Amino acid sequence: MRTIRAWALSAVTVLLAAIGMVTAPMAAHADIACSVSYVPVWDNGGGFGANITITNLGDPVNPWTLRYTWPGTQQVTQGWGGTWTQSGQDVTVNAPSYAPALATGASTTVGFYGTYTGANTPPAIFTLNNVTCTGSAPRSVRLTSPVNGQNFVAPANIGLAATTTPAGWAARVDFYSGTTLLGSDTTAPYTLTWSAVPAGRYTLSARATDTTGMTYVSNLVNITVTGIVADPFVVVTPTSVNVAIGGPAIVSVRLSGPPTSATTVTTSRISGDPDLTIQSGATLTFTPANWNTPQNVTVAAGPGATIGDSAQFLATAPNYLSATFTATVTG
């Protein structure tokens, strides 16, 4: 974990945000990735038929276009599932007007009849919207902590965490507030603590860079740091913890002000890896006498957890503003 302090530069960021001059980082580019299954159905020595199944492993595509090149004399005579054209050995299949989109994880199957002389060797390379289908999922990075819409009280210590898919390819992850670099981490799990953050609204993101210098941009997370909180609230410390597989991590919980009677704080997972669970302290009782005495919530990572996975937890109490924290799995 890396720790920095928000000095004058952060104050400038807040001022610019207040007058609308902070620009969010560039939007993440769309990643296209796919796999193709080519299945011959029949072959009589001069005519043949086959089905081609395209699976979208990347971002949604609309419309989709499949292309490939025959290695021999094959000629498509009839096709379905899309609009087929062939020029020389090059074949193009455009999405049908009634189903132009291919969502992430979705598949579609097209088929054809054709003729050939000599060898009937299947195509070696297929492309989806001009990107070669390798069967591998695209690289991506996601900012997992804090969560979008989360509120903090100034001066805030904000834990940032990011994960990559697939795991382990990033040589460095940079954390940003708007266009301001907050700090970097070079080892997974990628984390950073942004300390003494003043009041303001911030747009956070992460940028992951691989060993070749290619950069991938994460989702954007908007947070608010308030100077004065009029309503009482649940206090959790820290807001980001690391949990070893098979081991626990402790988050302390208290109230910002005394309740009028015994009040229960309930903590539960609201998103993320289900292998991260509350081991103890899911319900804690605070009274007018002990409201400011921290009590512990224990988070555990089950045997099915994977390094880099994370989950977000919400602590709520009647008549109090809720609080969130993030747990990230470590080795």
Tens-digit pLDDT profile for residues 260-304: 999 999 999 998 889 999 999 999 999 999 999 999 999 999 888
- The most confident of the ranges 71-75, 130-134, 153-157, 272-276 is 71-75
**Residue 10 confidence (pLDDT):** 37
Q: Which of 117, 121, 123 is nearest to 45 (CA)?
A: 117
Contact 303, 214 (CB under 8 A): no
**Residue 211 confidence (pLDDT):** 84
Q: Which amino acid is at 22?
A: V
Please identify which residue in the block is written with the tokens 């098979």: 246
**Residue 72 confidence (pLDDT):** 93
Q: Which of 193, 204, 238, 240 is nearest to 4 (CA)?
A: 193
**Residue 116 confidence (pLDDT):** 94
- Give yes or no for residue 22 having a pLDDT over 50: no
Calculate mean pLDDT across residues 47-72.
92
**What DSSP element (H or E) covers 15?**
helix 8-18
Contact 176, 206 (CB under 8 A): yes
Domain boundaries, the chain: 1-29+139-228, 34-132, 232-331
Alpha-carbon distance of 229 to 125, in angstroms, equals 60
Q: Which residue has the higher pLDDT, 13 or 65?
A: 65
Q: What is the DSSP letter of 13?
A: H
The predicted-structure confidence for 60-119, as pLDDT tens digits, reads as follows 999 999 999 999 999 999 999 999 999 999 999 999 999 999 998 899 999 999 999 998
Token pair for 148: 């979008």
Q: Which of 171, 197, 195 is nearest to 184 (CA)?
A: 171
**Residue 216 confidence (pLDDT):** 85
For the domain with range 232-331, which CATH number is right: 3.20.20.10, 3.30.1360.230, 3.30.380.10, 2.60.40.10? 2.60.40.10
Alpha-carbon distance of 280 to 326, in angstroms, equals 16
Instruction: Give the three-state DSSP class for 76.
Output: strand
The correct answer on CATH 1.10.3720.10 for the domain covering 1-29+139-228 is: no
CATH topology match: 34-132 vs 232-331? yes
Residue 188's CB is within 10 A of a number of other CB atoms, namely 19
**Residue 303 confidence (pLDDT):** 84
The correct answer on CATH 2.60.40.290 for the domain covering 34-132 is: yes
Calculate mean pLDDT across residues 316-325.
90
**Residue 73 confidence (pLDDT):** 95
Calculate mean pLDDT across residues 118-137.
85
Alpha-carbon distance of 219 to 38, in angstroms, equals 35
Calculate mean pLDDT across residues 291-318.
91
Calculate mean pLDDT across residues 186-215.
90
Confidence tier at 230 by pLDDT (50, 70, 90): low
**Residue 15 confidence (pLDDT):** 35
Confidence tier at 19 by pLDDT (50, 70, 90): very low
**What DSSP element (H or E) covers 65?**
strand 65-69
